[in-house]
Structure 1
Amino acid sequence: MDSLNALRIFSSAAEFRSFTETAQRLGISPSAVGKAVARLEARVGVRLFHRSTRSITLTQEGQQFLDGCRRIFSEIDALESGFAQSRGAPSGRLRVSLPMIGMLMMPTLSAFMRSFPEIELDMNFSDYLVDVVNDGFDVVVRTGEATDSRLVARTLGAYRLQLVGASVYFDQAGTPDEPSDLLGHACLHHRYPTSGKLQRWPLMNAGTPLDLTLPVTASSSTVEPLIALAEAGMGITCVPDFAIRRQVLDGSLSVVLDRYTEHSGVFRAVWPYSPYPSPKLRVFVDFLAKNLLPIRADRPNPSVAT
């Protein structure tokens, strides 16, 4: 048990990159953290951290040792979860990485929290590519493909990009009938925070992409301000259909140029492979797959891969 405790102290120090923060999280003194790491280094015969007065960083051997610790803890969690299944509801902390657009998933995430109050969601919102295993996430939700053989992926649902605006705007500026009409409209763009580039509007004509340089009335690194501006009658924006489902249903936003807009994508949940996935992970992924992007009559049911 002393050895296991030392591994947990080391893993926490590697995650927080600070003996002081590790001590605060674990309820022990910083000197106790330092001594535990020093004894562990002496036992394994390698230096695990580079230390400075301001920070600590893993050595190459330390990173290898951390990977091994995570495998050990994963097996322990799986063993404990297997016994816990027969004793009660899924519980515990679940570290989840979500895209910046994930704020629009909050109704689904709130519903999940109400359904599983014993699970603590630790949510990180970022559009940066994360290392699911080495960054210590239980599950990551992203668009695109999962190519790492250490990971398991499940499709959560499909979405489309749609062009929308408010009736008050179209009453003043007119409704575009074809893509070239957008050149005379106020266009509200999503800007990728990672690259700074504007997201291309997926305008097509008879299957051929249209290369139009659209006006830039405003841009935002997140989608929520674009929806709010469009609702306020400030212009036309291009956003995922699930993000404006309510607004389209209540009439505050209207879809335009739909027959010229061809785009589809999928959200996937990705997590480290384990022969014994924890109950909290299973119920989270199952809940998102069922509730995040419900199948519409005009949209095919995406295949589910596990």
Structure 2
Amino acid sequence: MDQLAALSAFVHSADTGSFVAAGRQLGLSASAVGKAVARLEQRLDARLLHRNTRHMTLTEEGRIFLDRCRRIFEEVEAAEAELAQASRTPRGRLRVSMPLVGMLLTPVLANFMRAYPEVQLDLDFTDRLVDVVEEGFDAVIRTGRPSDSRLMSRNLGRFRLRIVASPAYLERHGVPRTPQDLAHHRCLHQRSPTTGKLRPWPFARSEAIEKVNLPEAMSATAIDPLICLAVEGLGIACLPPFAVRNEIGDGRLISLLEDHVVETDQFSVLWPAGRQLTPKVRALVDFLAENLFREGDA
């Protein structure tokens, strides 16, 4: 604290050009300010100010040191402001971009709304690559690894996709024991809305598996139709675990080939780098990190 007080005395003296004026701003005597600066110079073994009875000017060392001191006090002010922000109640409109699969996270978002009733969620569901800064989003939630260096990010959790089918379908067509067996099954695919390509099913890479041509019974850019058609017994689908948690839990869908599904995906939340994290964004980030995935989803 004594060191910060000495730095403050130096900065105010340099800004005002006078120990007397600096003392008025700091509530100290001119003598106390002068002694603080002198002790600082002694500790640094450098003269910071040229001074006589009428004038006070910075030395070359003083100019360099003054820039450093300003940065120190800016960081202190930023830390105090951040702490004050964190202690405030999260409130206000929170504009968030989410992938289309994010529609399946509605129960988690409902719990967030109950926990933070003063935050008004403004959700934009799209799989296109949005410009977070230009389009004015507070945060963006995406699957996959973040790649935009302008954004800060936090990993919300990793998950493994599930290969699922209904008991009725398996009774009629048999249970696939290996990925190669899927060549003789009706496969329900998700198609990327941006590239138009079918999303690959995440099996372990091997020459045998790479040669498997998964039949395309149907495809959709959204996940909801795939869940419905799989439950209706019309094929086998590859879906995120949180999308079929209830269906697997009540037996409407059965998880298949779990030993062969090795690749995982992840959800991340991103926000503009350099922007102070507001209480409402911090609340969303922390809440999703704690509640997005349940045990068994990974």
Q: Normalized against structure 1, the TM-score is what?
A: 0.67
1:80–1:213 Cα change, 3 Å: same
What SS does structure 2 have at the residue aligned with 1:204? coil
Question: Is 1:113–2:117 an aligned residue pair?
Answer: no
**RMSD of aligned C-alpha atoms?**
2.3
Separation in 1 of the partners of 2:210 and 2:277? Answer: 45
Shift of 1:213: 1.3
Is residue 190–residue 219 contact of structure 1 (8 Å, CA) maintained in 2? yes
TM-score normalised to structure 2 length: 0.68
Displacement after TM superposition at 1:257 (Å): 1.3
Check if 1:159 corresponds to 2:159. yes
Aligned to 2:221: 221
Shift of 1:233: 0.8
CA contact (8 A) 1:157 1:294 kept: no
CA change 1:210–1:94 in 2 (3 A) is: same
**1:245 CA drift (Å):** 1.3
Higher Rg of the two aligned structures: 2
Residue equivalent to 1:276 = 276
Following superposition, the deviation at residue 211 of structure 1 comes to: 3.2
Write the mapping of 1:77-116 to structure 2, written as runs, cut at 5 A. Answer: 86=87, 89-116=89-116
Instruction: Give the alignment of 1:214-293 within 5 angstroms.
Output: 214-274=214-274, 276-293=276-293
Change in Cα spacing, 1:177 to 1:284, as seen in structure 2 (3 Å) is same
What SS class does the counterpart of residue 198 from structure 2 fall into?
Answer: coil
- Checking the alignment, whether the CA contact within 8 Å between 2:85 and 2:278 is kept in structure 1 is no
Instruction: Give yes or no for contact 1:185–1:215 (8 Å, CA) kept in 2.
Output: yes
Q: 1:205 to 1:131 in 2, by over 3 A?
A: closer
Distance 2:266 2:201 in 1: 17
Distance 1:134 1:111, change over 3 A: same
CA distance in 2, matches of 1:208, 1:174: 21
* Secondary structure in structure 1 of the residue aligned to 2:120: strand
Q: Which runs of 5+ in 1 are unaligned?
A: 1-77, 300-306
Cα deviation 1:128-154 (Å, max 9, x = unaligned)? 111111111100001222233332100
Superposition map of 1:1-306 within 5 A: 86=87, 89-204=89-204, 209-274=209-274, 276-296=276-296, 299=298
SS in 2 for 1:140: strand
- Structure 1 match to 2:50: none
Asked whether the 8 Å contact 1:94–1:121 carries over to 2, the reply is yes
Query: C-alpha displacement at 1:89, in angstroms?
Result: 2.5
Work out whether residues 192 and 198 of structure 2, in 8 Å CA contact, stay in contact via their aligned partners in 1: yes
Give, in whole Å, the separation in 2 of the partners of 1:207 and 1:269: 35
TM superposition shift of 1:83: 5.5
Instruction: After TM superposition, give the deviation of residue 93 of structure 1 in Å.
Output: 0.5
Distance in 2, matches of 1:254 and 1:181, equals 16
CA contact (8 A) 1:156 1:288 kept: yes
Of 246-255 and 197-206, more deviation after overlay is shown by: 197-206
| Distance 1:116-1:103 versus aligned 2 partners, 3 A rule | same
In the alignment of these two chains, the number of paired residues is 220
Work out whether residues 188 and 216 of structure 1, in 8 Å CA contact, stay in contact via their aligned partners in 2: yes
Q: CA deviation at 1:283?
A: 0.4
Cα deviation digits, residues 256-299 of structure 1 (max 9, x gap): 11112222011100001246311000000111111111344x84
Q: Deviations over 1:87-121 (max 9, x none)?
A: x5211001100001011111101111111111111
Uncovered stretches (5+) of structure 2, i.e. residues with no partner: 1-78
- Indicate conservation of the 8 Å contact 1:204/1:210, yes or no: no
Deviation at 1:208, TM superposition (A): 7.2
Give deviations 1:216-257, integer Å, cap 9, x for gaps.
111110111101110111110001112111111111110111
Inter-partner Cα distance in structure 2 for 1:211 and 1:121: 45
CA distance in 2, matches of 1:208, 1:264: 21
Q: What displacement does 1:207 show?
A: 9.2
Q: Distance in 2 between matches of 1:133 and 1:79?
A: 25
Alpha-carbon displacement from aligned partner over 1:150-205 (angstroms, at most 9, x marks no partner): 32100001111111000011111111112222111111100111111111112236
